[in-house]
Amino acid sequence: MPAQIRLLDDQAHAARTMWNLLHDWWTMLPKAKRSLAAADAAIRQARKDIEWLGMLPAQAAQAVLKTYFQAWKNCWDGRADEPNFKSRIRSVMSVDIPQGRDLNIVRVHRRWGMVNIPKIGRVRFRWTRDLPVGKRADKENRITGARLVKDALGWHIAFRVQAIETVPEPHRGPEVGIDAGVNLPLALSDGNHQDHGRPPRLPDGTADRDKWLNPDEKAKLLRIEQRAAHRKSFRKPKERHSNRLRATYDQIKQLRARATRRAVDWQHKTTIAIAARYGTVVVEQLNITNMVKSAKGTMDQPGKNVAQKSGLNRSISQEAWGRTVTILTYKTARYGGTLIKVPAPGTSQRCSACGFTTPGSREDQATFVCKNADCGFEANADWNAARNILHLYRMGHALVPAAGRAVARRTRGVKPTTAR
């Protein structure tokens, strides 16, 4: 309902503002006076003094405090940077419901369910996973809370489920090395490559940034982008966007969000198949941030092949290699397998057949041809790199995981469902 959507928007803005006020209060206060109890008292007083902050339920405000305090603990432990100000434009709109007893989930029929959102009322959502509700819920298997998140396609709800899971038996499957590429998304050392069937480049050689959209959606996106450029031409400097231009931007975001969902869906399905088949999965330790840096250089030392590097960076970002490894990490643990990382340097230049690294063997992005006179091995470049990755693991070059990192998860996550 539009009225409920507006109320959810107000709660999300109140939660973001609560975070920013808490951050300002925390950073300005002397270190000797910083404590969780003092922050809790400040939040309670702020909800009394500022009326529109009361739009946020009390438990959701406490969840903001706990999340902020945990962010500082992650910073002190060296796992993350310091918490920062949340921008209205760049931050994700979200609201936490930390108590599952307030939800009162009821399944209407096979596809839809109803949930109670504090200060919002009953909301219908798409039932995509089995939830422990009614007689199926007990102390060991129950819903402990939920999180509402908004993207370009609307509001969605993800439930937190606590469940007791048995420790899986060690996976006895084979070992496999995986190389994440652009032309071949996931190249496996045994030749069982995983491809999403969408070419990374257009016929003219440029990167296809909309490869997850079908032809009709691409044509629609082109029309909307042209419409947005036309309407933006009438906007004066420092003038706010018109409602029509803002609506056009929203249509563009919706198509982009749809493409992202399809990419994530492919990643989940592919990683499940890999985790179920292989007992040991070996990947590279990649620094993707450095890989996608611009090549434009400086005024004194301008870069070379800037346009080509820009297209490659866009293709790397679209493949989301880091997200694939993150998903594969917990899914291999769920199936009893192990994910190992090895050093990345040299895996794409070394010949997996003879073991020599000969200059000029990597002729282009897709093909590897060994220039060693006694070898002449020719294969897909990503497959050659995957074989080298597995070889590094078998030679004992596996990287030691960071201390304190969990190797298995004890709680079962639930795929976000769509609220209507």
Q: What is the pLDDT of residues 371-406, one digit of tens each?
A: 877 887 888 888 888 888 888 888 887 776 544 343
Residue in this structure with the two tokens 């084979």, named with its chain if needed: 174
How remote is the C-alpha of 188 from its chain's centroid? 23
Give the percent of the chain with pLDDT over 90.
Answer: 28
Among the residue ranges 10-19, 63-72, 309-318, the one predicted with the least confidence is 309-318
Classify 144 as helix, strand or coil.
Answer: strand
Tokens of 253: 């975001």
**pLDDT for position 345:** 85
- pLDDT for residue 272 is more than 90: yes
- pLDDT for residue 226 is more than 90: yes
Cα–Cα distances (Å) from 175 to 275, 279, 294, 362, 382, in that order, read: 11, 6, 36, 26, 17
**pLDDT for position 180:** 85
Compute the half-sphere exposure of residue 104: CA atoms within 13 Å on the CB side of its CA.
Answer: 7
**pLDDT for position 295:** 64
Dump the DSSP string for 327-383: HHHHHHHHTT-EEEEEE-TTTTTS-TTT----TT---SSSEEE---TTT--EEEHHH
The model's confidence at residue 407, banded by pLDDT at 50, 70 and 90, is: very low
pLDDT digits (tens, 9 = 90+) for 179-224: 887 778 888 988 888 888 877 766 655 667 788 888 899 999 999 9
pLDDT digits (tens, 9 = 90+) for 103-139: 889 989 889 999 999 889 899 999 988 888 877 888 8
- pLDDT for residue 410 is more than 60: no
**pLDDT for position 305:** 63
**pLDDT for position 362:** 76
**pLDDT for position 242:** 87
Residues 6+ apart with CB under 8 A from 332: 171, 274, 275, 278, 281, 338, 339
400, burial (CB in 10 Å: exposed 0-12, middle 13-18, buried 19+): exposed
**pLDDT for position 297:** 64
Section 89-94 average pLDDT: 88
The model's confidence at residue 411, banded by pLDDT at 50, 70 and 90, is: very low
Closest by CA to 8, choosing from 120, 115, 113, 97, is: 120
Q: Where, residue-wise, is CATH 3.30.420 in the chain? A: 175-206+255-394
Classify 323 as helix, strand or coil.
Answer: helix
**Of 282 and 396, more confident:** 282
The model's confidence at residue 301, banded by pLDDT at 50, 70 and 90, is: low
Among the residue ranges 252-261, 337-346, 374-383, the one predicted with the least confidence is 374-383
> 123 has which bridge partners?
115
- pLDDT for residue 413 is more than 60: no
**pLDDT for position 420:** 38
Residues 6+ apart with CB under 8 A from 284: 179, 180, 341, 342, 343, 344, 347, 389
pLDDT digits (tens, 9 = 90+) for 133-191: 877 888 888 899 999 999 888 899 999 998 887 888 888 889 999 988 777 888 898 88
Please name the fold of domain 175-206+255-394.
Nucleotidyltransferase; domain 5 (3.30.420)
Closest by CA to 17, choosing from 9, 29, 7, 5, is: 9
The model's confidence at residue 268, banded by pLDDT at 50, 70 and 90, is: very high
The model's confidence at residue 285, banded by pLDDT at 50, 70 and 90, is: confident
How remote is the C-alpha of 414 from its chain's centroid? 15
**pLDDT for position 408:** 37
